[in-house]
Structure 1
Amino acid sequence: MVLVRSIIRPDKVGVVLSELLSAGYPAVTKMDVYGRGKQKGVKVGDVFYDEIPKEMLLMVVNDEDKDDVVRIIMKYARTGENGNFGDGRIFISPVEEAYTVSTKKQGL
């Protein structure tokens, strides 16, 4: 199992979640987050924004589903034909164990 942690633009969350659901990946945790990437924030006129709103999606999937989930997020979170700064990041981490609290069952 792996944890797929993606940080994407808020306006892309709806389509990304819809496409993940359509592909058979309904389980996701969504959080409002703020931060900046390599661009170190955005300057608009005299105002500098160094904490830009984003959404973080967390999903635990089986190893064999990782590439499909990443492909979907990459395709639908991207802006424009070539993408733009601030489109987001995807991080993959191993998950050693998972349990369902109500049933006490191990695994997904």
Structure 2
Amino acid sequence: VNAGIVGMTVSPVRGFGRQRGRTEQYRGTEYVVEFIKKVKVEIVVEDSLVDRVVEKVIAAARTGEVGDGKIFISPVEQVVRIRTGETDEET
């Protein structure tokens, strides 16, 4: 994917969207699994790279099926590296 990405965080999560849960069977008993295993990807980039990164993520992640996910774009006001105290682009 690159596109100027210098790092990302990938976390296993559980949730549901429009697809809701799914029905499973265990020992003959039917039950609904409301939260589905998903992956959350967090990427922080400079404003000038947002469009390019969005295009690359869509190209890499789109299957055309329900559950492909969403991309949320929000401002990051400040970044502080805990270890050194560096801020913003220095981090």
Q: TM-score scaled to structure 2, two decimals? A: 0.78
Structure with greater strand share of residues: 1
The residue aligned with 2:48 is: 64
Rounded Cα–Cα distance in structure 2 between residues aligned with 1:61 and 1:92: 10
1:27-78 CA distance string (max 9 Å, x none)? 1111110011112223467553321111111111111111111111111111
Rg comparison, structure with higher value = 2
Aligned partner of residue 60 in structure 1, secondary structure: coil
Alignment of 1:96-107 (within 5 A): 96-107=77-88
Instruction: Give the alignment's Cα RMSD to 1 decimal.
Output: 1.8
After TM superposition, list the pairs within 5 Å mapping 1:21-40 onto structure 2.
Answer: 23-40=3-20
- 1:52 aligned to which of 27, 36, 41: 36
Runs (5+) with no aligned partner, structure 1: 1-18
What stretches of structure 1 move > 4 A for 4+ residues in a row?
Answer: 44-47
Q: Aligned pair count?
A: 85
Identity of aligned residues (%): 36
Bigger relative contact order (CA 8 A; separation at least 6): 1
